[in-house]
Structure 1
Amino acid sequence: MQEYSIAYAILAFIVLVLKNDIKDKFFFSLTFILITLAGLFSYEWKDNFTAWDIFSALGGSSTIALALLALLGYLDYIRQEEEVSIWLHVKDDKGNIIQKEDTNFSILRKNCTRQELQGILGVIADVPRYELASIKESEFMKDIDAIQIGKKKKIAIIVSQEKEAYQFNSIFNNKYKKIEKLKTQTSLRIDKDSLHDAKKILNEVGMNFSEEVNIFTKMIVTHKGLSFEVKIHNDEVNDLTDKLQNALKEVARQSKEENL
């Protein structure tokens, strides 16, 4: 029985230490070889052993190895059929996790891929098309790999508090709101006397009278049920505003010269 105890000891060491770090095809091959060798080395060899003794020892050792591999394969099959819960973690702008919620959805470990998770998220989302930055990151793929080899029992999907959490508001009890950006518009008007000259000058800078200029961006932010409105100058139109002001100055200058 000495060969059996050594074989089981080596197998236990491999399973506990190496299983999650060796690819399956190498793991099972290595297990078979080590268990077979363990049986051969622990066999009570006689001084005048024959070829039959070698075949007998090899047959017994390989039988043990195959039986243990069959057991490992069955255990691995059971592991792949386990369900993995899907969670949403809300991250604030400082990178801290401020809320964790179970979606009450799960996926089989063997089916845990990015494509499958994206499909489930599409069912959970409150919007027709959701966007998540975290599912495109390498860290997310590492978590999926950890799920598939049995290191983790749940998958956590990170959502941004400011930009993404509102897409799954039903999971978070309508706690998060979309930050809406609204633009106010102003139109250019010039008196009729200077209309002709103004058109000519404005055309030179690529503008016309029907063109509307976005001067401010109005942001509506909701926090704890209270709405705050902030006006922020739109940097994208600074250059256009400068051209507009210069054009108006030129119109005024030409009108003044004509009146002299």
Structure 2
Amino acid sequence: MKWIKTYKTLLVFGVITLIGLSVSFENFYTDEGFVWQDFLASLDTATAIALAVLAVVGYMEYIKSEDEIPIYFEIGEKGRKVDIKLKLLRRNCSRNEVLGVLGMIQKDSKNRFNLANNRMKKLLIDTQKIQKGELNELCIEIDSEEFGQFDIVP
């Protein structure tokens, strides 16, 4: 079923075009036979409608990619949420961008911040979910010791 995601746009275009052609299919045959002019006019209309639908779908995906994604630290077992007051656009929300933001807010600029490996794996999974539109915020789970590495402006 992965091929459906790959060819979704092409499938939608084809289905809408075929529906448009099938609606006026009876007009293609007259007493004189097949009328190409009517067929091409219907094909033109069906294609225009399909392209309009795809343009709307593309625009909606573009608007979704412009969403601002807030970044939070979730500290300790109690899960206290701290807003770091920085946001990324959904389209730019990648592992590298998030690590860059974390590097910008660390206290010690000479050394790299340190997060547990299992947290980095969850960070990667969450950024992928954000890019797919499944999450609308990024919560980075850290303990209080790891939180001490960062300088959060209230």
Same fold (TM over 0.5): yes
Deviation per residue, 1:238-258 (Å, 9 max, x gap): xxxxxxxxxxxxxxxxxxxxx
What is the rounded CA distance, in whole Å, between the counterparts of 1:147 and 1:101 in structure 2?
19
Q: 1:168 pairs with 145, 150, 153, which one?
A: 150
User: Which residue matches 1:157?
Assistant: 140
Equivalenced residue count is: 144
Q: Which has the larger radius of gyration?
A: 1
What is the rounded CA distance, in whole Å, between the counterparts of 1:116 and 1:154 in structure 2?
14
For CA contacts below 8 A with separation 6 or more, give which structure has more relative contact order.
2
Is the 2:73–2:82 contact (alpha carbons within 8 Å) kept by the matching residues of 1?
A: yes
User: Which residue matches 2:120?
Assistant: 136
* Residues 1-260 of structure 1: pairs in structure 2 closer than 5 A: 23=5, 26-43=7-24, 45-46=26-27, 48=30, 49-92=34-77, 97-128=78-109, 129-133=112-116, 134-137=118-121, 139-161=122-144, 163-168=145-150, 170=152
Using the TM superposition, give the Cα deviation of residue 71 of structure 1 relative to its aligned residue in structure 2, in angstroms. Answer: 2.0
CA RMSD in angstroms, aligned pairs only: 2.3
Using the TM superposition, give the Cα deviation of residue 43 of structure 1 relative to its aligned residue in structure 2, in angstroms. Answer: 2.5
Letter in 2 for 1:136: M
Is the 1:126–1:170 contact (alpha carbons within 8 Å) kept by the matching residues of 2?
A: no
TM-score (norm 1): 0.49
What is the rounded CA distance, in whole Å, between the counterparts of 1:80 and 1:166 in structure 2?
32
Using the TM superposition, give the Cα deviation of residue 150 of structure 1 relative to its aligned residue in structure 2, in angstroms. Answer: 2.0
Greater Cα offset, 128-137 or 147-156: 128-137
Quick one: percent identity of the two aligned structures? 33
**Structure 2: gaps (5+ residues):** none
**Structure 1: gaps (5+ residues):** 1-21, 174-260
Using the TM superposition, give the Cα deviation of residue 51 of structure 1 relative to its aligned residue in structure 2, in angstroms. Answer: 2.5
Letter in 1 for 2:13: F
SS at match of 1:73: helix
